[in-house]
Amino acid sequence: MNDELVFLGSGGGRHHIRTQYRATGGILYKFNKIQSHIDPGPGAIVRINQYQEDPTKTELFIVTHAHVDHYNDLSAIIESSREMLHDKKYNYYKKGTLITTNEMLQYISDYHLNMLEEIIRFKQGDIFTYNGVEIKATKVVHSPTTEGFGVIFKLKNYTLAFSSDTMVYDGFSEEFSGVNVLVLNLLRPDSIVCKRHLCTDEVIPYLNNIDPPLDTLIINHFGSYMDSPRSTKNYVPSQVKKLQDNTNIKNVIAAEDGLKITIRELLK
């Protein structure tokens, strides 16, 4: 099993969009020889090249919601996923599947949507099977005006989830029951509450109620309070320690820009 995560950015929110102090390119998730790109935010195509990944291998595009730090580079990523756009008669080659919210589709041109083989409009609770892998949309409580979802990939040997941007909610722990590896968007440290997002102290009790416990928690999508020229220090290491000390999760990892990690390393 060579499944892998590549973090094309560990930053979230508008300050990192502007400064790129932490990159905002989303995540490549490679499973069963399939390359997917989740939430290709600003700079995604730059980071793919910087970290020596191959954009032409991407065949599954997932955008969890229509916020610019999650979708900005989607059109560039769709175009970059093929060596050739069309044949000599200008018949465009169709490639790839896009999973996203219905709302998101208005931000992508018909030109780019027509390059895709399949478009799946996803909402909380939906399940789509892609090459034998069950992909499920989880609940998020994020923006009152923007549709969104998290995503769970259920493979033969393990289950991996991406929380997307969300607050905690009743049923949060149950939503991730049976998940081995959770990639959690954790915008702020300690008890610095972030409207519509998560801070460490809020989420700890919910993490502890995931049954059975996660094998690995990866924290990601750090806001400017967590680490940037605006923060008093880089809070990420202290949050990893806090999560290790206060949860039943054995392995807690912080995403970094360009981090590549095999799934094998993350399973108990």
Binding site for Zn ion (CB under 5 A): 12, 67, 69, 165
**Pick 12 or 42: Cβ nearer Zn ion:** 12
Give the whole-angstrom CA distance, residue 131 versus residue 62: 15
**Pick 12 or 25: Cβ nearer Zn ion:** 12
In a 13 Å sphere around the CA of 217, the CA atoms on its Cβ side amount to 27
**Pick 120 or 141: Cβ nearer Zn ion:** 141
**Minimum distance between the CB of residue 115 and Zn ion, rounded to whole angstroms?**
25
**Pick 64 or 75: Cβ nearer Zn ion:** 64
Q: 99, 91, 88: which is closest to 38 by C-alpha?
A: 99
**Minimum distance between the CB of residue 209 and Zn ion, rounded to whole angstroms?**
24
**Minimum distance between the CB of residue 67 and Zn ion, rounded to whole angstroms?**
4
**Minimum distance between the CB of residue 124 and Zn ion, rounded to whole angstroms?**
15
Give the whole-angstrom CA distance, residue 149 versus residue 141: 9
Give the whole-angstrom CA distance, residue 49 versus residue 47: 5
Give the whole-angstrom CA distance, residue 260 versus residue 87: 35
**Pick 53 or 69: Cβ nearer Zn ion:** 69
**Pick 146 or 246: Cβ nearer Zn ion:** 146
**Minimum distance between the CB of residue 160 and Zn ion, rounded to whole angstroms?**
19
Burial call 194-226: b when 16+ CB within 10 Å, e when fewer? beebbbbbbbbebbeebeebbbbbbbbbbbbbb
**Minimum distance between the CB of residue 70 and Zn ion, rounded to whole angstroms?**
6
**Pick 96 or 223: Cβ nearer Zn ion:** 223
Contacts of 6 (CB under 8 A, 6+ apart): 27, 28, 29, 30, 51, 53, 258, 259, 260
Q: 113, 117, 116, 134: which is closest to 125 by C-alpha?
A: 134
Sign of the CA dihedral 6, 73, 80, 44?
Answer: negative
**Minimum distance between the CB of residue 69 and Zn ion, rounded to whole angstroms?**
4
Start-end of H helices in the chain: 14-19, 44-50, 68-71, 74-80, 110-113, 172-175, 200-208, 236-246
